[in-house]
Amino acid sequence: MTEKPTVLFVCVHNAGRSQMAAGWLRHLAGDTVEVRSAGSEPTDRINPAAVEAMAEVGIDITDQTPTRLTWDTAEASDVIVTMGCGDACPVFPGKRYEDWTLADPAGQPLDLVREIRDDIRTRVVDLLAGLRRAR
């Protein structure tokens, strides 16, 4: 792993789970980790409920845009975390993978999106601790 690890969060639409995870990691890691997110079938905008849930904890993800997952992005990442994209998320040999089973916040009430947000935070904290131990 490089001095500054690169983490890629991937979900189908790159509008909810992966954006919240990226927001948490940027917030918690500062500039010690390069953070990316992408989707196998990105939508045109971030889920407004995800934006609202993250804003409640002081994290602004409104400047992010759903992005299509590319081979180059995955290849340039040290850790790839997938969230519910199943076979749509390709496997890249030699990469560290984590697959997080999380509910999709799309179309869900804000209370459920908050639960997903908090679950993601716990997982990001654990991921960051592992990255710091690996250095």
Question: How is residue 62 annotated by DSSP?
Answer: T
Q: Check if 11 is active-site.
A: yes
Q: Check if 116 is active-site.
A: no
CA distance 130 to 99: 15
Q: Which two tokens stand for residue 23?
A: 């927001």
Q: Check if 85 is active-site.
A: yes
Q: Given the structure tokens 């980790």, which residue do they identify? A: 33
Catalytic residue among 11, 12, 20, 51: 11
Catalytic residue among 59, 85, 113, 131: 85
Catalytic residue among 89, 102, 113, 124: 89
Active site residues: 11, 85, 89
